Amino acid sequence: MENILSGNLIIIGGAEDKEGKKEILKRVCDSIDKEKDILVIATIATEYPKEVAAKYKEVFGNLNVRNIKVLDIAERCDAYEEGNVNIIRESALIFFTGGDQLRITSLIGGTPIYDELKEACNKGKFIVGTSAGASVMSDTMVVQGDDDDSPRKCTLKMSPGFGLIKGVIIDQHFAQRGRIGRLLAGIAQNPEILGIGIDENTGIIVNQTGTIEVIGEGAVYFIDGSTITYTNVSELHADEILSMHNVKLHVLTNGNKFDFIKKSPFEEEKINHEDNTKENI
């Protein structure tokens, strides 16, 4: 079976806490050796790279990460520079900030930076993305769709992503922007893939075995369309309300786990510490 997971991924729904307890960003930093490893802030998605980089450098520095570098790709030619490729090559963790996910794929897709990113995944390095940086992780990403509205047949704009995790669509700022309808529309069009909607200040940790752990203060919504028995999706009358039957929805919160291979939540087996020794009489 083709591998559906690459590397170790931390995928954040955006607006993660940077001022208070910083629980999610602490988990990010705890993934590496904070004294020795290099954490890279990739500002490719944003139109304000200097401001965004400065903020994250401050936060990660306060969380005791000693070696922080910034990868700023403003034009495609920057993605061919050996110095930028070396930043990825030397890193232990690459953190993609929010912004516009199409900026990321259009600026680095098919370049040496992209090839080095895939190699980093294959070596098990941590790839982290928040907001737009989350959407780009999957092989199919949401680019545009109506927020806070009922799902409609063909109103969702999608595009290829990085494919670091295959067979999913990831949407972010999920409950806060009412995006359940647009993710359902995506699943209706592609029922073989798994929809993952991630709330703000919430994330998932995905390892190479297919285990997904939810972290943060919100919820993560897993939409499984493999059991759909009927849908009216078609190109005809594209703006009509979508109808779909027997779609599965799982809602997970902090500490809950999901088996990506089986598409099912699970609880880890608890060890029985019962003392079986007999009492002395």
Indicate the pLDDT class of residue 1, thresholds 50, 70 and 90.
Answer: very low
Selection from 5, 1, 9, 10 nearest residue 167 by Cα: 5
CATH of domain 8-260: 3.40.50.880
How many Å apart are CA 98 and CA 131, to the nearest integer? 5
Between strands 93-96 and 38-42, the pairing is parallel
What are the extents of the domains in the chain? 8-260
Indicate the pLDDT class of residue 271, thresholds 50, 70 and 90.
Answer: very low
Contact, 254 vs 21, CB < 8 A?
A: no
Predicted pLDDT at 235: 64
pLDDT > 50? residue 273 = no
Radius of gyration of the chain (CA): 20
Strand partners, 250: 222
Query: Token digits for 233?
Result: 């999706």
Active-site residue identified among 131, 135, 138, 213: 131
Question: Which tens digit of pLDDT belongs to each residue from 217-252?
Answer: 999 999 999 999 999 987 677 778 999 999 999 999
Give the global pTM: 0.91
Q: Which residue has the higher pLDDT, 111 or 270?
A: 111
Active site residue 138: no
Predicted pLDDT at 233: 87
pLDDT > 70? residue 272 = no
Active-site residue identified among 91, 135, 173, 213: 173
Active site residue 91: no
Query: Token digits for 18?
Result: 């940077």
How many Å apart are CA 60 and CA 71, to the nearest integer? 15
Active-site residue identified among 31, 135, 138, 200: 200
Question: Which tens digit of pLDDT belongs to each residue from 21-73?
Answer: 999 999 999 999 999 999 999 999 999 999 999 999 999 999 999 999 999 99
Question: Which tens digit of pLDDT belongs to each residue from 106-156?
Answer: 999 999 999 999 999 989 899 999 999 999 999 999 887 777 778 876 668
22-26, 160-164, 189-193, range with greatest mean pLDDT: 22-26
Selection from 70, 85, 160 nearest residue 118 by Cα: 85
Q: What is the mean pLDDT of the chain?
A: 91
Q: Which residue has the higher pLDDT, 280 or 106?
A: 106
Which residues lie closer than 8 Å to 34 by C-beta, 6 or more apart?
Answer: 63, 64, 65, 66
Contact, 70 vs 95, CB < 8 A?
A: no
Active site residue 131: yes
Predicted pLDDT at 231: 93
How many Å apart are CA 59 and CA 65, to the nearest integer? 9
Predicted pLDDT at 4: 55
